[in-house]
Amino acid sequence: MNFLKGIGIGIANVIPGVSGGTMAVVFGIYDKLIECIANFLQASMKKKMEYVKFMFPLLLGCGVGILFFANVIGYLYENYPVYTKGAFVILVLPSIPIIIKGENIKDIKNILSFAFGLLFVVAFFMFTHNLEGNTFTKQEFFTIAYGLKLALCGALAGGAMIIPGISGSLLLLALGEHENVINYIGNIEIIPLLYFGVGVGIGILIFTKIINYFLQNYRSKTLFVILGIVIASLIELLINI
């Protein structure tokens, strides 16, 4: 089952405007995913094996989703953007109440946290909208300098991937590297993918540490921030359909 969920997360990560983190919330594994990544290095051997058992099929599925569906999703997004985005919105909507199940929706701090999540997405999309379409440069030759840039973009995208509602692909689009990365994946170009993959791994590790801290210490408020982010991102998708 985690393998199939991983495929769903992987597919979501290659669609600009769609978030793999949101899919993890939809599948009910977001908390566990954050815990596994954030605590793996310092966990006991028994706990490490538990994390590996959970994560391995998920990561395998995610890799399959990205490698085998990148070109398909790219085609669907390019030729049928309304249906592609609409299918994602329909899939996510039923999961929204689950995010804050059992939480106090009248608490003023939770309401403010929800508002912060909304405003965060507004600021993110304003930033990406200002850059989108102006920065893409097709990379003809691979250099170490470009590899370092690719790793940095990967770190930023990896951090974005782990936040529900924030699209790592959209951020790559704004940074001018989405088409290059999709081409590298489609053509299985190992060297640039290694640089990008290392960057993604670093970004995911850093952001999961931060998110896990807030989930452990400010769980209710963090869930409402996530709710605000998810709802705002869905509204943005609907506006652009």
pLDDT in tens, 125-164: 777 666 555 455 566 677 888 889 899 989 988 887 788 7
Yes or no: say if 20 and 157 are a contact pair by the CB < 8 Å rule: no
Instruction: Please compute the mean of the pLDDT values over residues 1-16 and round it to a whole number.
Output: 84
Token pair listed for 219: 């769980």
3-state DSSP percent of the chain in helix, strand and coil, to 5: 80, 0, 20
CA atoms within 13 A on the CB side of 167: 28
Yes or no: say if 84 and 126 are a contact pair by the CB < 8 Å rule: no
Give the model's confidence band at 81: pLDDT under 50 very low, under 70 low, under 90 confident, else very high. Answer: confident
Give pLDDT, residue 17: 64
Distance CA 22, CA 96 (A): 10
| Residue-wise burial string across 30-44, b where 16 or more C-beta atoms lie within 10 A, e elsewhere | bbebbbbbbbeeeee
96 vs 240, more confident: 96
Considering the entire predicted model, what is its pTM?
0.72
Give pLDDT, residue 11: 83
Contacts of 108 (CB under 8 A, 6+ apart): none
DSSP 228: H
Give pLDDT, residue 6: 92
Where on the phi/psi map is residue 30: left (φ > 0), alpha (ψ -120 to 50), or beta? alpha
pLDDT in tens, 22-58: 888 888 888 899 999 889 888 899 999 999 999 999 9
